[in-house]
Amino acid sequence: MSTPPSNMLSRSSSSSKSIDNDHLDISTLATQIEHLERRLTPIIGNPSQDSDVKKRPKPSGSLTMRKGAINLPISSTQPAVDLTSEETRAKYQEIVQNSGLFYINGERQLIEQKDIVKIGLLGVGSCGEVFKMEHKPSKMTLAMKVMSRTVSDEDNKRIIMDLDVLDKSHNFPHIVRCIGYFIRQTEVWIGMELMACCFDKLLKLIKQPIPESILGKLTYSTVTALNYLKEKQGVMHRDVKPSNILIDENGNIKLCDFGISGVLVESKAKSRKAGCAAYMAPERIGPSVADKPNYDIRADIWSLGIALIELATNAHPYANCQTDFDVMSRIVTEEPPQLPADLSFSDDFRSFVNNCLIKDYQQRPKYGPLMSHPFFVQSTEQPVDVAECAAFFIQTRSENARCFIETLSSTFSSELVVRWKKQRVGHDSTIKIC
């Protein structure tokens, strides 16, 4: 792969310039290459498919004990927000009263759900689906998280936590902005600003490590957001991972998805449920805390460290694990993962990741020391054009895909290629952007 021009990795504030949307638009390029690769796979297979599968542990629906395995208290992925049923219902009723209030072009107004139309699917998660939608009267586009709900307190707790954090963080620059929401009997729609891509998707698109300079900006934004949640709202995220760290078309990096955030009491989490096993800190797994959770915001710091290794190497440190149980067994019994010694990373970056992944959470630094770490300070000050650099790598992938089509045309009969293009790409020789 060609190397990005040096001016993509840094620029002074005085020389800031807009991105050429015809060539370096992140969301357009991401959509183009992703849909193209989906179409290629059923026909010829994906050469990198097997290796991609091994890069992150596979989730499992049910976990069973194996002979010789240690006995771990398995954490549920259901949320456990620390509110009584009475508190939940009261807070929920308060939130319901604001249903339908949206920020439309900077002004908060009551809108009707029928005026919101779906444009396309952006992603699918454990809690629901996210669609690109448009408010027809204003022509404003937004991302809409659509979640099914019941009358259970657990559903209400998740909704309350997600909406409460988003509402209080409306103007915080490193948290995805909530535009408004609809609460109905069977569904909840949460409208958010439209972002270009999450880092999990970006990694899959470019199929190579994310540059350290971009990871520095990710670190700055994520730690700043987590510290804000702790200091201003008294909550910890509990689900820090690449798919919950997003980038917009201007290169701004923001944290999202607060449905399983936990309330802190005297800086400690009161419950141990929720979260993705592949990024879970050891103190959230050990038998000694099965009945009496005693972890704090440093569990999110561990999760960030795992995410940084995955993004920096294009491989999850607990690859090849078949179940959540396998992952948690390794987290508890093995030494913390580190960045590979044979790869070129700065000493400051290695030190920062190692600090995030200190196994004893009482020795692991909190946000204050992390924000004073040389890597964090340098990342704060260093000018990096995140949007242009990310789009460059996606564009390179797109160009490689176009080259593949040209190779296909010269290898197979013209009749086959024409039929393939009509079925998989479009009715002409250009690649369609879906």
Task: Give the three-state DSSP class for 69.
Answer: coil
CB 243 within 8 A of CB 198: yes
Closest alpha carbon to 275 in 71, 55, 62, 74: 74
Task: Give the three-state DSSP class for 29.
Answer: helix
End-to-end CA distance of the chain: 25
Give the H or E element holding residue 103. strand 101-104
Within 10 Å of residue 58's Cβ, how many Cβ atoms?
14
Q: Alpha-carbon distance 324 to 66, whole Å?
A: 13
Q: Alpha-carbon distance 102 to 140, whole Å?
A: 11
Count Cβ atoms within 10 A of the Cβ of residue 135 and give its class: 0-12 exposed, 13-18 middle, 19 or more buried: buried
CB 278 within 8 A of CB 310: no
Q: What residues are labeled active site?
A: 239
Q: Alpha-carbon distance 370 to 213, whole Å?
A: 17
Q: What are phi and psi of 115, to 5 degrees?
A: -85, 0
Strand order in 101-104's β-sheet? 107-110, 101-104, 178-183, 187-192, 140-148, 129-135, 116-124
